[in-house]
Structure 1
Amino acid sequence: MDRAALSDALLHQLYEVLASPLGSIGRGLSELLTPFVAHSALVLLTADVSGGRLQWWGDPTIHQGMSGLAVDRLRSTSGSAEGIRRAFLHIDDAQRPVLQLVARNGALLLLVDPGPVSRPRTVTDLWNIVSLHVQERADEAAPEYLRHARSTAGVRLLALNEIRDEYSATLEGVLGPLRAGRLSDASAREAALNRSVAGLDRLRAMSGQARTLAQETVSVSFARLKDELRSAARYWHGQLEFIGPSCGDHPVPDEVARGARAVVQRVILSRMECSEVSRMRVQWECDGTQLLIDLRDDGAGGAADAEALLEIARQRVDALRGQVSFTETSGWGAELSVSLPLDPPPVRPSTAAIAGLRPREMQVAKLLTAGSRNRTIAHELGISENTVKFHISRILRTLNANSRAEAIAALLSEQRA
């Protein structure tokens, strides 16, 4: 195959990967990269619109023996520098070689049991394109997704606390009699004591790692925003300034970081289209409980600007239970201020249940709360009335509701919360 035909085939295969559902990207990407580097499995750590960030493809034993925490530890030790490096991943009680690729936006790709890399630059470029596509799909997600992700985060933290408390109590119960010396065999007592202490330490470490798995520091999130905006502003005529957070080590949940970057990018890109705007400033700060965003420009300001900017930001900010305001500043033009809470909303029974609804059930629930009848819901979603009845039955069971009215009340209560 000549060079032109090879390039055409590669571009077509890349197109097929980008056009595929996000859940199928692992398979297509593996096939795309195989000619350049052989591997037994592929692991991706990204953010996507479904909320699931860890994907894999290939040898099923890799997935079965792989820990998401181990993958995240590998990412945290690699830093955010773009490039390829070789490392080892703990899989099923063994260290397996991996080729570790960090994209420009910080997404991680692991190729397990890699062979030689024939064209490193091509492999890096392909991963940058795919990871950027996944990120853009996440950024373009409907605001309802961000709200759902926030509720899910609250459920996840509640479950994590319950697991931690249960196992901590169990281990502490074992440690009590061991420390009291009630076992007669000193060597057995010492061995059990050491094992219990080690188990408790491991549990605490895993709890901390699980909490950071879906987070990034505010400085890392801001650095990614800068890289993305500088690329977009390459041909803009004006000046773009950045003021980073003074306390950059505070963790920010992924959905908050993603939502914040999406809001800022949309506002900045819209203002770049205004000929009177020649200077913009982006400032982030974190006070420990909120992510604070300030966007300023030297445009004309006024009611039209206020309405346009608020319209761009409001839906995503509301989805994250944040606040947004607009003011005019002397020496500048428009100033948009956003505050996003870092902690997920308190988990109530309805919140936990709603977070467990499937995507199609969420669509049915939305139409249900709008007062739509089964026939209307079926027509809107292109499904049969029997299928609608099936989804509504499961929604009732999930929400522990005895009637359609009770389910609607629970859903509306959650929307107002």
Structure 2
Amino acid sequence: MSNPKPLSRRMLGEQARILADQADRHAVTLESMLAILRSSRLDDRAARNMAVEIAASALVSLRVATDERDSDALEPVVGAFARLRNDLRPLVRFGDLDVQFVEPPATGRALPGEVAHAARAIVRNAVLGFVDQGETRRVRIQWDCDGLNLLIGIRDDGPGRLSAHDDVLRPIAERVTALDGEFGVASTPGWGSSLEVRLPLDPPADPEALPSAGALSEREREVLRFVAAGARNDEIAAELGISANTVKFHVSNLLRKSGARSRAQLGALTR
């Protein structure tokens, strides 16, 4: 009997993306349910009914989201933004967060499915990160399109301590890198933080094959094993007895040698 054909790099990357999307959808659902159950505007019965409705809706979405498996489909930019608003609607309605949505132009270029999924995930991750800070009360979300790129702007009124290197923003940075985009953070203490993201509408080429073990140093192979397991830089540093900056150096080398666009893609190539 012949061995089964290994999954292609594209299929592995797609699986990793779908799992990541499901994870932050679940996170938004749980945050929404908690906001409902904590809301002083609802009595116990109404809160339970609303929480059940949110959970049931999330289950239905999970079972019928066939479009999430079709990264080649195009989405009108206005429709993609409307889906984002719907994702966040329960959290906005019952949470303590005041969210302002600035609609993209209706004439904007349709988004490739991969870009639309990544854009929604980026905003969901950012909103959850703001909620976790506990001090943010207002968030402004804006999408725009210049014909070649989707432009995402997210601004909050939180403590203004975020930087591009914070772990809470790592999933965003990885998604942006995977699509050859650009990501920047500007923070002013006491005034809040601003995230600016540019996602090209034409996807990058697939990475080259992962180099053979002989092309990697012993330390790079050790770091790669932890990256493939999903470990963070500080966890890898603690396990190997090296600094987090040294881990970053090795990860950068691994990304360069493999042509991978993100840690998630690097891990998928390894597996």
TM superposition score normalised by structure 2: 0.53
The residue type equivalent to 1:132 in the other structure is L
The residue type equivalent to 2:59 in the other structure is I
* Pair 370,253 (structure 1): closer, same or farther in 2 beyond 3 Å: farther
Please name the residue that 2:172 is paired with.
313
Determine what percentage of the aligned residue pairs are the same residue.
Answer: 36
- Distance in 1, matches of 2:211 and 2:127, equals 32
Which of these two proteins has the greater Rg computed from alpha carbons? 1
- Distance in 2, matches of 1:275 and 1:343, equals 37
- Match for 1:49 among 7, 12, 15? 15
Tell me, what secondary structure is at the counterpart of 2:133? Answer: coil
Residues 1:233 and 2:83 aligned together = no
Worse-superposed segment, 289-298 or 239-248: 239-248
Instruction: Report how far residue 129 of structure 1 moved.
Output: 2.0
- Match for 1:250 among 84, 109, 117? 109
* Pair 329,222 (structure 1): closer, same or farther in 2 beyond 3 Å: farther
CA contact (8 A) 2:160 2:192 kept: yes
- Distance in 1, matches of 2:87 and 2:80, equals 11
Flag the structure with more relative contact order, 1 or 2, with Cα contacts below 8 A and sequence separation at least 6: 2
- Match for 1:326 among 180, 185, 192? 185
Please name the residue that 1:270 is paired with.
129
- Distance in 2, matches of 1:306 and 1:133, equals 35
- Match for 1:371 among 216, 227, 238? 216
* Pair 269,413 (structure 1): closer, same or farther in 2 beyond 3 Å: closer
The residue type equivalent to 2:135 in the other structure is E
- Distance in 2, matches of 1:328 and 1:50, equals 31
After TM superposition, the structure 1 = structure 2 runs for residues 114-129 of structure 1, keeping only pairs within 5 Å, are 129=59
CA contact (8 A) 2:156 2:193 kept: yes
* Cα deviation 1:88-147 (Å, max 9, x = unaligned): xxxxxxxxxxxxxxxxxxxxxxxxxxxxxxxxxxxxx978624336759x69xxxxxxxx
Residues 1:412 and 2:271 aligned together = no
CA contact (8 A) 2:161 2:188 kept: no
Please name the residue that 1:56 is paired with.
none
* Pair 295,303 (structure 1): closer, same or farther in 2 beyond 3 Å: closer
* Pair 326,127 (structure 1): closer, same or farther in 2 beyond 3 Å: closer
CA contact (8 A) 1:369 1:412 kept: no
Please name the residue that 1:132 is paired with.
62
* Pair 250,230 (structure 1): closer, same or farther in 2 beyond 3 Å: same
* Pair 303,258 (structure 1): closer, same or farther in 2 beyond 3 Å: closer
The residue type equivalent to 1:338 in the other structure is V
* Cα deviation 1:306-349 (Å, max 9, x = unaligned): 7345424111110111100011369941001000000123x5xx
* Pair 258,340 (structure 1): closer, same or farther in 2 beyond 3 Å: same
Please name the residue that 1:34 is paired with.
none
* Cα deviation 1:206-262 (Å, max 9, x = unaligned): xxxxxxx61111111110001001123343112111001124441111011111111
Please name the residue that 1:91 is paired with.
none
CA contact (8 A) 2:182 2:197 kept: yes
After TM superposition, the structure 1 = structure 2 runs for residues 163-312 of structure 1, keeping only pairs within 5 Å, are 214-302=73-161, 307-312=166-171
* Cα deviation 1:26-80 (Å, max 9, x = unaligned): xxxxxxxxxxxxxxxxxxxxxx73899xxxxxxxxxxxxxxxxxxxxxxxxxxxx
* Pair 126,310 (structure 1): closer, same or farther in 2 beyond 3 Å: closer
- Structure 1 stretches of 5 or more lacking a match? 1-47, 53-124, 140-148, 154-212, 355-361, 381-410
The residue type equivalent to 2:187 in the other structure is E
- Structure 2 stretches of 5 or more lacking a match? 1-13, 19-54, 226-255, 262-271
- Distance in 2, matches of 1:331 and 1:282, equals 20
